[in-house]
């Protein structure tokens, strides 16, 4: 038992957020106590993201801020994707850092902590050569109703722009048995929503003799008593089959939402990105979802300004937005990343042009969302209540199709509705959220 205090700040995707929940649990099980500020902590950890250059810079800014505290008994550690990518170079750039470890090494976390506690000031976990996934019985989940659950780690794709295969290593799936056991445990603990996580959930392959694929696992988790909602992220379009749509249609517990990152509407750019599908193949998947038995909300990720993206390529992406009518999208300016194939590509798009395309894309999407959300006025939707906006006197809810639906509930009489499922009628809409009233009764 160490008796030490720690503080952790997390950047990046849900995988990182959930990794931090596991790391926090493992630290607390060793006797470390969490504190609210880095100033109060003896061990300061940054769980980092390197998906774009801006994300990567954040951790170095943080480390710079606290440089003067080095030697005052504080220990600094860098975890996650920047740690894996930069490795021991971090010790040179920020000599007050004592621990550098990527996510593929968290199975060795205990051992690394022992080394730190023994006074070792150069502790690393940087091997990507692993077949294990990081599991711990001590996970400290931040949300009492919605739980993240990792089903697969790493990525075996090699999209030309992306660092993830270098920062998270090869794909490793957990056994269906251990995923289901965790889902049952979560239900017993009172969680009602589970979000299955992986960089590429539909590449899931059960390593046990049961041999389940992703669709089977999805249905399996949806069947766990007590679980009312199952979400999953992220799907790669190449591996998204009709069996997944069938599993969703057959299990209302699986939420009405699919996040299917397209990246570009141009087949030429998709090929350069090594995305492994054409625009038509992507649109076929959209068709499956649009003709399914249930109505699904579809969201996506788009990169503008990939090397060689012409005005015509960009126009094709804009036309794709009109065809699909996404309910929401994340859009990014291409950011050149170390180790990736696109780094050496010619025809870089100037920063101002990337910015121009991003603005046009976001403006178009905003108009689509305003229109689509307005169509929901008058409809009733079940929301899971996530919190309360005191200033507006509204409950903050989320619908199965992943929209934020804030609402008033005159009958609540000061009782907290957080964690409950409440039917709400939509009365107003904006580009990013809906407002409504609880349906009486």
Among 50, 105, 199, 317, binds ligand SF4 (CB under 6 A): 199
Q: Which is nearer to ligand SAH, 134 or 407 (CB)?
A: 134
Q: What is the DSSP string of 400-435?
A: TTS-EEEEE-GGGTT---TT-EEEEEEEEE-SS-EE
* Binding of residue 195 to ligand F3S (CB under 6 A): no
**Contact code string over 149-168 relative to ligand F3S, x by CB under 6 A:** --------------xx--xx
Q: What is the DSSP string of 240-271?
A: --HHHHHHHHH-TTB-SEEE---B-S-HHHHH
* Binding of residue 20 to ligand F3S (CB under 6 A): no
Q: Where are the alpha helices (DSSP H) in 274-375?
A: 279-290, 311-324, 351-374
Contact yes or no for 28/62 (Cβ under 8 A): no
Q: Which of 438, 439, 441, 366 is nearest to 396 (CA)?
A: 438
* Binding of residue 187 to ligand F3S (CB under 6 A): no
Q: Where are the alpha helices (DSSP H) in 30-96?
A: 53-65, 80-86, 89-93
- The β-bridge partners of 123 are 99
Task: Provide the phi-psi class of 187: left if phi over 0, else alpha when psi is between -120 and 50, else beta.
Answer: alpha
Q: Regarding beta strands 152-153 and 404-408, do their DSSP bridges make them parallel or antiparallel, or are they unpaired?
A: unpaired
The entry of ligand SF4, ligand SAH, ligand F3S, none that residue 281 binds, CB within 5 to 8 Å by partner kind: none
* Binding of residue 335 to ligand SF4 (CB under 6 A): no
Q: Is there a cis peptide before residue 234, judged by omega within 30 degrees of 0? A: yes
Question: Stretches 162-170, 171-179, 208-216, 320-328: which one binds ligand SF4 (CB under 6 A)?
Answer: 162-170
* Binding of residue 15 to ligand SAH (CB under 6 A): no
**Total residues binding ligand SF4 (CB under 6 A):** 9
Among 197, 303, 321, 438, binds ligand SAH (CB under 6 A): 303
Contact yes or no for 311/198 (Cβ under 8 A): no
Contact yes or no for 405/381 (Cβ under 8 A): yes
Q: Which is nearer to ligand SAH, 14 or 115 (CB)?
A: 14
313 exposure class (CB count in 10 Å sphere: 0-12, 13-18, 19+): buried
Contact yes or no for 235/196 (Cβ under 8 A): no
Question: Stretches 34-42, 57-65, 161-169, 204-212: which one binds ligand SAH (CB under 6 A)?
Answer: 161-169
Q: Which is nearer to ligand SAH, 111 or 347 (CB)?
A: 347
Among 10, 84, 200, 399, binds ligand SF4 (CB under 6 A): 200
* Binding of residue 45 to ligand F3S (CB under 6 A): no
The entry of ligand SF4, ligand SAH, ligand F3S, none that residue 50 binds, CB within 5 to 8 Å by partner kind: ligand F3S
* Binding of residue 332 to ligand SAH (CB under 6 A): yes
Among 4, 12, 395, 406, binds ligand F3S (CB under 6 A): 12
The H or E element that residue 219 is part of is helix 214-222
* Binding of residue 14 to ligand SAH (CB under 6 A): no
The entry of ligand SAH, ligand SF4, ligand F3S, none that residue 165 binds, CB within 5 to 8 Å by partner kind: ligand SF4
Show the tokens assigned to 363. 């403006």
**Contact code string over 234-273 relative to ligand SF4, x by CB under 6 A:** --x-------------------------------------
Cβ neighbour number for residue 2 with a 10 Å cutoff: 16
What does the binding site for ligand SF4 look like in residue numbers (CB under 6 A)? 155, 157, 159, 162, 164-165, 199-200, 236
What does the binding site for ligand F3S look like in residue numbers (CB under 6 A)? 12-13, 15-16, 49-51, 80-81, 163-164, 167-168
What does the binding site for ligand SAH look like in residue numbers (CB under 6 A)? 51-52, 161-162, 164, 199-200, 234, 236, 261, 263, 301, 303, 332, 334-335, 337
């Amino acid at each position: 038992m160490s008796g030490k205090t720690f503080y952790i700040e997390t950047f990046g995707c849900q995988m990182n957020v959930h990794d931090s929940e596991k790391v926090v649990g493992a630290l607390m099980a060793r006797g470390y106590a969490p504190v609210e500020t880095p100033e109060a902590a003896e061990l300061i950890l940054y769980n980092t993201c390197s998906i774009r250059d801006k994300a990567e810079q954040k951790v170095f800014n943080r480390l710079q801020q606290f440089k003067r505290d080095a030697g005052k008994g504080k220990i600094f550690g860098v975890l996650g994707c920047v740690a894996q990518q930069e490795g021991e170079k971090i010790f040179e750039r920020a000599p007050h850092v004592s621990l550098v470890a990527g996510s593929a090494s968290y199975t060795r976390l205990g051992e690394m902590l022992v080394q730190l506690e023994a006074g070792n000031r150069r502790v690393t976990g940087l091997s990507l050569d692993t077949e294990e996934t990081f599991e711990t019985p001590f996970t400290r989940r931040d949300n009492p109703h919605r739980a993240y659950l990792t089903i697969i780690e790493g990525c075996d794709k090699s999209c030309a722009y992306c660092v993830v295969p270098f920062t998270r290593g090869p794909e490793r799936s957990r056994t269906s048995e251990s995923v289901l056991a965790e889902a049952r445990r979560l239900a017993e603990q009172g969680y009602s929503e589970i979000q299955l996580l992986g960089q590429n959930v539909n590449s899931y392959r059960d390593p046990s003799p049961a041999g389940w694929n992703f669709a089977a696992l999805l249905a399996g988790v949806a069947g766990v008593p007590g679980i009312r909602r199952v979400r999953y992220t992220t799907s790669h379009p190449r591996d998204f089959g009709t069996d997944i749509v069938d599993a969703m249609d057959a299990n209302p517990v699986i939420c009405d939402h699919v996040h299917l990152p397209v990246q570009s509407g141009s087949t030429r750019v998709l090929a350069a990105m090594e995305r492994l599908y054409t625009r038509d193949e992507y649109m076929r998947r959209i068709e499956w979802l649009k003709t399914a038995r249930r109505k699904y909300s579809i969201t996506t990720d788009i990169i503008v300004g990939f090397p060689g993206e012409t005005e015509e390529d960009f126009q094709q992406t804009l036309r794709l937005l009109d065809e699909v009518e996404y309910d929401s999208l994340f859009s990014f300016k291409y950011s050149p990343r170390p180790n990736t194939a696109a780094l050496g590509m010619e025809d870089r798009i100037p920063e101002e042009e990337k910015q121009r395309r991003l603005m046009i894309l976001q403006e178009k999407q905003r108009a689509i969302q305003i229109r689509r959300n307005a169509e929901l006025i008058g409809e009733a939707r079940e929301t899971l209540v996530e919190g309360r906006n005191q200033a507006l006197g509204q409950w903050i809810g989320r619908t199965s199709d992943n929209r934020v639906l804030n609402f008033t509930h005159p009958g609540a009489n000061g009782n907290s509705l957080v964690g409950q499922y409440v039917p709400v009628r939509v009365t107003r809409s904006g580009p990013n959220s809906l407002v409504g009233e609880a349906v009486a009764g």
